[in-house]
Chains A and B, each alone.
Chain A
Amino acid sequence: MNNKTLIVTGLVIFLIIVLFPFWYMRGKAAPMPEPVLTPKAKAAKACVRSTDYMRAEHMQLLDIWRDEVVRRSKRVYVNPQGKEFNMSLSNTCLDCHSNKTEFCDRCHNYASVRPYCWSCHIDNPKEKS
């Protein structure tokens, strides 16, 4: 350990640089977005599945829906409560959640995910039809 001071200073500088983003942004984390429910979604009370399930698994659910509808021509979803739904992103999901910018986009932007559903699927079936 001949260059003790040099090594230690170097380590300290390295740590400061590496940890800079953490202490610089401390306490300033972007607030978690609150998706807004439309009156219709609020009135319905329950989604296709429980809120927790939807929050965590909606992408897997949509993926399964897509495969069932497109590849196996099954268009009706029966949830564990026995309620039936037409498996359609534009016509079922967005029928209640007709506020894509306040519902879908908020979390997607926060999580920096860019689903390309909307390059084909129409994002708001209710807007001036």
Chain B
Amino acid sequence: MDSSRRRILQLLGVSALALTTRPVFNAFAKEAQAAGAEAAFKAGEKALQAKQWAMVIDTRKFHSEAELEPLVEACHKIHNVPKLQNKNHEIKWIWGTHYHNAFPNKAARFLAESVEHRPFLVLCNHCENPPCVRVCPTQATWKRDTDGIVFMDFHRCIGCRFCMAACPFGARSFNYRDPRPFIKETNKKFPTRMKGVVEKCNFCAERLAVGQLPACVEASDGALAFGDLYDPESEVRKLIKTNYTIRRKQTLGTEPSVYYIV
């Protein structure tokens, strides 16, 4: 009696195992097949390449805040940046500020009038040693080793705002509210963001990928130059070579990639 019960249980166990192995095998086989499917990925043929993208802003060509407006508008429009009235909720990728705000450690008590009243275009500096990247707990922001852009993966951002605390330039904004109702004209080609993520300038990575220069550079009528910092023949290097340039808060050692001709 006892041994026959044991026998039956054994048989039941073995048959159950036999019945379940096939689907499991099939599932694994299918997975292996899907992984081995010979689809490939590549960068676009027209994509612009660089070791480290950099920007040179000729601030002498701007005289009033209104002159910066088309550049800011061009950027914010194509990237679906919302316009929020509340200063605490504001989202900015690129904006104008005064000399003493842009360069607090270079501002003397008395300044040349032209510099004091000149607007300075500020944006993410795409630092070579970015502090925001070091603090990000999810690697939602990282420095691309292909072109030096400090990029953001909005899918991964958990909205902890460490990067905002780490960035010495205030280049990052947090979506305290759902941005969609505050976007006047949506660019259907670019995603919006959602409530609870941080965002910032991406050096127009989506435009560089199709061979276009950043929107602000295109709208600047020559006042902004863009190129590879490590290519001695690039436009930015030529400008840096022939003009005296400064960078924001250089003493902090973040190595900003945005240069200003003053």
Contacts and interface: CB of A to CB of B under 8 A. Distances in A.
B194 A120 contact: yes
Contact of A80 (B38, B44, B155): B38
B238 to A, nearest CB: 27
Interface string B36-62: 011111111001000000000000000
A54 interface: no
B39 A80 contact: yes
B189 A73 contact: no
A120 B190 CA distance: 9
B146 interface: yes
A119 B194 contact: yes
Q: Which of A57, A74, A90, A116 has the most CB of B within 10 A?
A: A74
Interface residues of A, number: 29
Interface string B174-200: 000000000000101101111000000
B188 A73 contact: no
Interface string B188-221: 1101111000000000010001000000000000
Interface in A59-117: 60, 66, 68, 70-80, 86-87, 90-91, 116
Nearest to A78: B40
A47 interface: no
A90 B34 contact: no
Nearest to B205: A73
Nearest to B144: A73
B39 A73 contact: no
A10 interface: no
Given A74-B41, A75-B209, A78-B41, A90 B188 contact: yes
A70 B39 contact: no
A71 B37 CA distance: 21
A73 B40 contact: no
A80 B40 CA distance: 8
A75 B43 contact: yes
A91 B194 CA distance: 19
A74 B37 CA distance: 18
Contacts of B38: 80
Contact of A77 (B39, B147, B191): B39
Interface of A: 49, 57, 60, 66, 68, 70-80, 86-87, 90-91, 116, 119-122, 124-126, 129
Interface of B: 34, 37-44, 47, 144, 146-147, 151, 153-155, 186, 188-189, 191-194, 205, 209
19 contacts: A49-B39, A60-B34, A70-B151, A72-B41, A73-B205, A74-B41, A74-B42, A74-B43, A76-B44, A77-B39, A77-B40, A78-B39, A78-B42, A80-B39, A90-B189, A119-B194, A120-B193, A122-B191, A126-B188
Top 3 A-B pairs ranked by shortest CB distance?
A: A125-B188, A74-B41, A78-B40
Given A77-B41, A120-B192, 6 more contacts: A70-B153, A70-B155, A75-B209, A90-B191, A91-B189, A125-B189
